[in-house]
Amino acid sequence: MKYYIPPPDFDNVSFDLNKNFTSTRYKPTSYNKLDDVLRWISENFNLLEKLLSAQGGQWLDIDFICRRGVLKTLLCTPYKKKDKWIICAGKYRGTIYLCEFYTSEREHKYVNATAEDKQFGSWGYKFEQYMVADQPSHKPDPSVPLNECEKFHCIFKANFGDHSLLYAAEIDVGGKYGTILVKKAITWWSQNYLAGVERLICGLRNEQGEVKVIKEYPTHYLSELSKPYNLGKCKMFCKIFLDNVKKIVTKDYNECMYKFYFDGSSDVINYSEIASNDEMYFFLKPWFVDKAENYNSTFQ
C-alpha cells in the first residue's frame, strides 16, 4: 500500500519520467487473469455469501465478478469500435466470472514491444512514484528502481441496472501530454464511474517525458468533457451485454466456458462455447473451486 503525498506546488514541479529507466522491472506481457481477485474472494467468503435461506442456485450475493478493465472495455466500446476484444465467462454456483483476454493483434503488440515502447509505457508508473510514498510521514523517492509489478488494488461492489457487481480496480495516477484530450476523457470516466472516484490527478508532460505542471480535476469534469459522446449510450451497451451474458451463460464452468468476441468491423458480438479444459481461456482455478467447496461443506 502507498500513500498519496502531493508536492507543495502543483504549478512548479520537475519530474523526469525517464529517471533510472534502465533499472525498470517491466510488467510481464502475459495477460493478468483473476488469480488475485479469486484469492481475495476465497479469504472473504463469509462477507459475500447470501443467507442460506435466500441462496437458491446462487451462493454468493453477486451476479458478476471481474476486473475493472472488463467494465471499462464494455463502457467504451460504442466509441472505440476499432478495438477488438475477447471476454470469457464462466459460471460457478450461480455467479458469472468474467475475464478479458488479449486478441492476437494485441498480444503481438505487447510481445513485440521495443525498448522505446516499454520506456514510454512506463511513464505513468514513474509518475506514480513521484506522487506516493511507503509511509504517510515519508517523501516520494523516485530514485528507487521502478517495479511495474507493484500495484495496489481495491475491491468494489456496485449495482449496475439489475446486476450486482464485484470487481477489482487498480488505484493509480496518470500523466499525459498537454491538456486532457476528449478521447481520453471517456476512458478515464469509464474507470472512475463505477468506483465512485471523486477526483483525478493528472501530470501534464512534454514529449521528452518531463512533467512541469500537475492538474487536479473532479470526476464530474470528465462527464462535461465527454459531452461529444453520449455516456448514456455507453451505460446502455454495458447493461445490454450483461443482460445477454446472464441469459447465455447457463452451463457451469466444468461443462464449458463461454468466449465473447467483438470485432468493430462487423459491429457484432459473437460467442462460442469452449471446452472447460482449454488452458488458453480457463481462469477459474482448481485451488479456488476446492477452497469454495470445502467452505460450503464446512459452513453450510
For residue 49, count CB atoms less than 10 angstroms from its CB and return exposed for 0-12, middle for 13-18, buried for 19 or more: buried
Residue 172: which pLDDT band, with cuts at 50, 70 and 90? low
CB 197 within 8 A of CB 179: no
Position 177 scores a pLDDT of: 47
Angstrom distance (rounded) from CA 294 to CA 283: 19
Name which of 56-60, 177-181, 279-283 the model is least confident about.
Answer: 177-181
Span 121-134, average pLDDT = 89
Pairing assessment for the beta strands 210-218 and 199-205 based on DSSP bridges: antiparallel
Span 202-228, average pLDDT = 83
Instruction: Give me 224's grid cell.
Output: 462535461
Position 50 scores a pLDDT of: 80
Which distant-in-sequence residues (6+ apart) come within 8 Å of 224 by Cβ?
A: none
Taking 90 as the threshold, does the pLDDT of residue 3 lie above it? no
Angstrom distance (rounded) from CA 113 to CA 176: 20
Separation of CA 138 from chain center: 29
CB 84 within 8 A of CB 266: no
Residue 52: which pLDDT band, with cuts at 50, 70 and 90? low
Position 290 scores a pLDDT of: 95
Taking 70 as the threshold, does the pLDDT of residue 182 lie above it? no
Position 246 scores a pLDDT of: 96
> How is residue 5 annotated by DSSP?
-
Position 89 scores a pLDDT of: 97
φ, ψ of residue 240 to 5 degrees: the values are -65, -40
Span 8-21, average pLDDT = 92
How far CA 183 is from CA of 38, 67, 223, in Å, comes to 33, 22, 12
Domain ranges of the chain: 3-299
Span 141-165, average pLDDT = 87
What is the pTM for the complete model shown? Answer: 0.87
Taking 70 as the threshold, does the pLDDT of residue 31 lie above it? no
Angstrom distance (rounded) from CA 31 to CA 34: 10
Q: Which amino acid is at 243?
A: D
Radius of gyration of the chain (CA): 21
CA angle 93, 94, 95 (to 5 degrees): 100
Average pLDDT across the chain, whole number:
86
Residue 55: which pLDDT band, with cuts at 50, 70 and 90? low
Q: How many CA atoms does the CB half-sphere of 12 hold within 13 Å?
A: 2
- Angle between helix 286-299 and 35-42 (nearest 10): 10
Instruction: Give me 84's grid cell.
Output: 477488438
